[in-house]
A = this chain, B = another copy of it.
């Protein structure tokens, strides 16, 4: 069989690097053009020293010309830049967009949170959500979810699918700093983040909020309100999402567990941990797995659902490759690992 060729736009960033790490181990993909913006012309080895086999590849400028002629194009670009590139690439190319541009179905949500015109809506690359896998089969355009919406949607969709949680979710999530990207900003310096936890985007202003609401509302069949507080943790990778909602009256711990067992059944990348064991982000370092656990806080009357993912793998590049596999008719797990690099 002839491998398909994939280009990566934005190859110098964290998402781009992780896409390349996974594609290097993917048996059906050959790596084509690599592009960058300010880093065009540089050796990849200087920018992504961990990608040893690609060290001598040189970044080209991001343009439709460079990206054309590939079977798959991964876009790991700042939001707002994907639409222009996509228009110039024909329908024969599968475009997997790791940016936000095509995630939201509601144009008003987009405009409120991003302040620019809505570019459209593409099939959503979170195959574990009801109906999503189906929509990805044969798709030529994929909107890869945000990292937080991935973690949060996977933690809570079983509860909403089973109708056992009230429609007001409270979410506090901790992310590794790679989630903030590779742009050098003072508050992301190692000296600032090591040894410190800090919140940001508090009060419903984080741009991933409408995406969570969209996903959970679709599952629940009713609008879910989301109070979302992201925090920055002193680690490079990983998201721990602590999610809760009031339990519907009469919900039991048994019913809760059954809902989650049902939701993960057959899913290659979801794992409901045995009762009493809680997810740690280290266990999914570099893996495409999402670890889940759930408990009923009987005193407070709340369902507590917690997920751990690697923000760059399942939360970005791994989810992108998984969705690509589905779109291309390949085995869903190809080139992806469920095994974390730990400790």
**Which of A's residues lie within 8 Å of B, judged by CB?**
14, 17, 21, 24-25, 43, 45-46, 48-53, 55, 168, 170, 172, 174, 176-178, 180, 182, 184-186, 188-200, 202-204, 209, 225-227, 229, 231, 233-238, 240, 242, 244, 271, 273-274, 277-287, 289, 291, 293, 295-302, 304, 306, 308, 337-343
Contact = CB atoms under 8 A, between A and B. Distances in A.
A342 B282 CA distance: 14
Contacts of A49: 273, 277, 279-280, 283, 291, 340, 342
A253 to B, nearest CB: 9
A298 to B, nearest CB: 7
8 tightest Cβ-Cβ pairs between the two chains A and B = A50-B340, A196-B282, A203-B295, A190-B193, A198-B280, A227-B300, A172-B172, A50-B342
A196 B300 contact: no
Give the residue among A193, A281, A343 with the most B Cβ atoms within 10 A: A343
A209 B341 CA distance: 29
Contacts of A274: 43, 45-46
Contacts of A192: 190, 280, 282, 343
A286 B341 contact: yes
A11 to B, nearest CB: 14
Contacts of A285: 50, 195, 341
Q: Name, among A193, A225, A237, the residue most crowded by chain B CB atoms within 10 Å (CB to CB).
A: A193
A286 B342 CA distance: 9
Given A172-B242, A190-B177, A339 B24 contact: yes
Given A340-B50, A343-B236, A194 B204 contact: no
Nearest to A190: B193
Given A204-B297, A339-B24, A186 B197 contact: no
Contacts of A231: 174, 240, 242
A268 to B, nearest CB: 10
Contact of A278 (B198, B278, B297): B198
A94 to B, nearest CB: 24
Contacts of A236: 190-191, 194-195, 282, 342-343
27 contacts: A48-B342, A49-B277, A49-B283, A50-B282, A50-B287, A50-B342, A51-B339, A52-B339, A174-B197, A177-B190, A182-B186, A190-B190, A190-B192, A195-B238, A196-B342, A197-B235, A198-B308, A200-B278, A202-B278, A202-B295, A203-B304, A204-B297, A227-B300, A233-B234, A236-B342, A237-B343, A286-B341
**From A45, A55, A233, residue with most partner B Cβ within 10 Å:** A233
Contacts of A341: 21, 50, 285-286, 341
B304 A229 contact: yes
